[in-house]
C-alpha cells in the first residue's frame, strides 16, 4: 500500500515538474523571439537611416 502511495506521489510530482519546465521553456522562447524582433527592427531602422543619408 505504501509503495503505491509513494509511486503515485512520484508520478504526480514528475508531472507537475514537467509542466513547470514546459511553461518556463515556452516563456523563455517567447522572450528570445521578442528580443530578436527588436533587434531586427533596430537593424531595419539603421538601414533606412543609412539609405536616407546617402540619397
C-alpha cell belonging to residue 11 = 508520478
Q: Provide the pLDDT confidence category of residue 13 given band limits of 50, 70 and 90.
A: very high
The answer to whether residue 5 sits within a structural domain is no
Contacts (Cβ under 8 Å, ≥6 apart) of 22:
none
Segment 6-15 shows an average pLDDT of 97
**How far does the chain reach from its first CA to its final CA, in angstroms?**
81
Distances (CA, A) of 8 to 27, 35, 48, 54: 29, 41, 60, 69
The answer to whether residue 3 sits within a structural domain is no
Full-model pTM? 0.66
For 39, the domain range is 25-54
Count of domains forming the chain:
1
The answer to whether residue 11 sits within a structural domain is no
Model confidence at 55: pLDDT above 80: no
* pLDDT the model gives residue 53: 92
How does pLDDT run across 18-51, given as a tens digit for each residue? 999 999 999 999 999 999 999 999 999 999 999 9
Amino acid at each position: 500500500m505504501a509503495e503505491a502511495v509513494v509511486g503515485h506521489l512520484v508520478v504526480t510530482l514528475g508531472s507537475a515538474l514537467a509542466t513547470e519546465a514546459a511553461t518556463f521553456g515556452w516563456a523563455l522562447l517567447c522572450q528570445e523571439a521578442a528580443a530578436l524582433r527588436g533587434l531586427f527592427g533596430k537593424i531595419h531602422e539603421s538601414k533606412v537611416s543609412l539609405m536616407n543619408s546617402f540619397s
